[in-house]
Structure 1
Amino acid sequence: MVELRERPRTGWAAVAPVAAASFTLVLSEFIAVAVLPSLAADLHVSEGDAGLAVVLPGLVAAVAAPAAVLAANRTDRRLVLLALTGLLAVSNLLAGLAPSFTMLLVARALLGVAVGAFWTIGVAVAPRLVPAGRGTAATALVTAGISAATVVSLPAGHLVAQTWGWRWALLIVGALAVLITIWQVLALPSMRPDRALGWSALTSLFRSRRDRTGLLLGALLFFAHFGAYTFITPFLTDRSAFSSGSVTLLLLGFGVAGLAGNFGAGAAVTRNLPLTLAAAAVLLGGSVALLTAVTSLPALTVVLVLVWGASWGAVPLIVQTYMMGGTAAEGGLALFVSTTQLFLAAGSALGGQVVDRWGLSPDYLLFAIPAVAAAVVARLFLKTT
C-alpha cells in the first residue's frame, strides 16, 4: 500500500485540474437541459417527467454535501477528489448508455453525489494548493468553471445531440471526466484534512451568527436568481420579442459576463467583502426588476441581461469565500451547498407557480426583492459577524 504523505503546495498546475473538474461538473448538470427533448423521445417519457433528470442531481447534492464531509472526515483530500471526478465520469457514461429512464435517473443521482461533495471539498482545497495570499484567486479559478460551463453547455449539447444523438453528448462529457481524473492523478499532492468534523461540530455551525448570516445570504440570492433565471428564455422571446437565435447569443453573453464577474469579484473581495457582496446583490435585483420596464428597448434589455450575468457570476465566489473564513471551512461549505441547492429548487418551483398564475413580469418583480434584501443583510451584518 502506498503511503500518503503531505507534499508541498504545487501551485497553479495543481489548481488547474480541480478547475477543469468544476467545469465538467457543471457541464454535466446543464447538458441534460440541451438534450432533454431527444432524451425524452428516445426513452419514451414526457418532457415533464424527463425534467427529473435535471432536478434530481440538485436534490441529491443537498443531502450529499454534509454527508460527504462526515464520510470523508479523515480521508486524504487528493483521494476524495479523485473519487469524485471518477464518479462524475461513471455517472455520465452510465447515463449515456442507460437502456431505460430508471437507469438514467440512477446515473443522474450519482452525479448529484459528485456535485454536493465537490462543491464542499473541491472548493475548500483550492487555497491549499497555492502560495499564501493567493487563495481567493485559486478559488475564483475553480468557481469560474460554473460560468464557463454555462457558456458552452447548451450550445455544445444541442450541437452534439443534433449531429450524433443525445447519448453521445453525455458520453463525451464522461470521457472528458476520465481524462481529468488522470490529470489529477498526475498533478494533485496529498492533502490531509485540516480537522476532523463530526455531526455535532457540523450542526454547531447553526449556532454561529457568522455562519447563519452566510447561509441566509446564500438562500436569498439563489432563491432570487433561479426564481427569475429559470424563465429567462420565455421572458426574452415572449416579453422582449427577441428571436430564437438572438436569445441564444444573449444567453452566451450572460455566461461570458458571469465569467468576468467571477474574476472581478475575486479581485475585489479581498479588499471589502461586505461591499462587494452588497453591490452584486443590488445589481442582480436591480437588473431583474428593471428588465420588466424596458421590454420594448432591445439595447437596454441586452445591457441589463449582461449586468445580471456579471452580478450572478460574482455571487457564488463571494459567499463561498465568506463561508470558508469560519471555524470549519468544509463544514460551512457543506451547509452552504445544501442550503443553496434547496433554495435553488424552491425558487424555480415558486417561480413556475407565479408565472402560471400572474405572468412573467410579476415573477421578475417578486424575485428582485430577496436579492435587494440580501444587499441589506450584507451591509448591516457582515462587518459584525
Structure 2
Amino acid sequence: MPTPYNVLVILVVELYAYLIDLKLLLINLLLKSLLAHNNFRHMTNTCTDAINKYLMACKNEGWLSREADKFLFANHIYNSINWESQTNEEIFHILIESQKQKYTGRKGIKFILKSGREKAGVFLSLSDVTLLKKAKIKPLNKIDWSKRTMSFTGGISVWVSTLFPEKYYPIPMRNINEVVRYLYNPRIDVFPKNGLDYITKCQSFCEQSHALLKQFPLEELYLEFWNALGTNKNALTVSKKDHLGPVDWVWLTQDFHLFVLDRILGKFGKEKTDISPVEFEEPTIIEGGSKLATHMRYERNASLIKKIKAQALKENKMLNCVVCNFSFLAQYGELGLGFIEAHHIYPLSEREGAQVTRKSDIALVCSNCHRMLHRDSEMTIKKLKDICVGGTSK
C-alpha cells in the first residue's frame, strides 16, 4: 500500500505534467492567434489597396460602363421572375428571351451564350429551370446536376446568383481562385479550379469582399452610373435607383473580382506573356558553431529549376510557398511577381560529385521557410509545415 508521501509525489508529478501540457497548449493557441493576426493584417492591406484602385477605375476610367450589360441583365432577370406566380415554362421563356434582348446595343450576355454544357448555343433547357428552382431552398452541392444543360461557371453560377442574390454570388469565369489567394491568402493547399466545388469554395470569400466593399463609397458611384443608363437610347429601359439591392451588390462583388483578375493580376482575357520567374540562388554560406562554413558547390541543373518555376508560375501566378502559403506577389504587389526560391529536398552538401536534379527533388518555398529548412539538418517540408500550423511533427 503506497504511503502518503508516495501519493503526494505522484500527485505532484501528475500536476507538473498537466501544467506542461497546459503551457504547450497555450503556446500553440498564441502562435495560431499571431498567425491569424498577421494574415488578417495582410488581407486588410491587400484588399484596401485593391478596392481603392477599383474605385479610381470606376470614377475616372468608366470601368462600370464597360460592364453595363451584365448589370442590366441581372436587374432585368431579378425583376422579371416570380417563382410563386409563374410556371416553369413561363420562367424558361423569360430566361431564354433575356439572351435575345439588347442591353447596351448588343444581344445577350457573352458568357451565358457560351455556357452550354455540350453545345455552346444550347445554354438552357426547361428541365434546368426545375434544378434552378431547387437552388432556392437547397445548397448547390445537395442538388443532382448530372442532367443539366448548363455549365457550372457561365451557367448555373450566373443564373442562381441573379435569381437568388440573397444566397449566391456569381462566379462566371475561371481564375477567381487566384483572386482569392491574392486578396485573402487562405491556408488552402488545393483550391478547386472549376466545377461545383470551385463555385461553392468561392462563395465565402465573395461574402468577405462584399462586406469590405460596403465600407467604401461604392454605392454612390454605382447609383450615378446606373441612373445615367436611363439616358442611353441603346440601353434597356431602366428605373432609377436611390439605393442598391441584393442583385446589385452580388454583381458588384463579381465585378470587383474581375477588376483584380484583369488589372492587378493580368489574368483575364489574353494573359501577359512577359512574366518570368525571378532567379534566386540557394544560400552559399551557413553558420556552423562559432564560424561561417562555406557550402560546398555542386553542379546544379539551373535549366530544370527555371522550368519548374515557370511551370508553377503558369499554374498559379501567386507562387505560394509550399510550406506556409506565403506569396511575394500578394505581399509586395508587382515587385514580388515571379519571385520564389528553390529548395533541394535532398541537400546538395550530402551529394558526391555531379548529380541529376529531378523535378521531384525541388520544393518552391519562401525565403523564411528556406532558411528554416537549412537550419536543421533533419528538417523536412512536412515537419516545417506542421510547425507553421501550430501542430506537432510525428
Q: With the length of structure 1 as denominator, give the TM-score of the two structures.
A: 0.26
Rg larger for: 2
Whichever structure has more strand as a proportion of its residues is 2
Whichever structure has more helix as a proportion of its residues is 1
- Greater relative CO (CA pairs within 8 A, separation 6+): 1
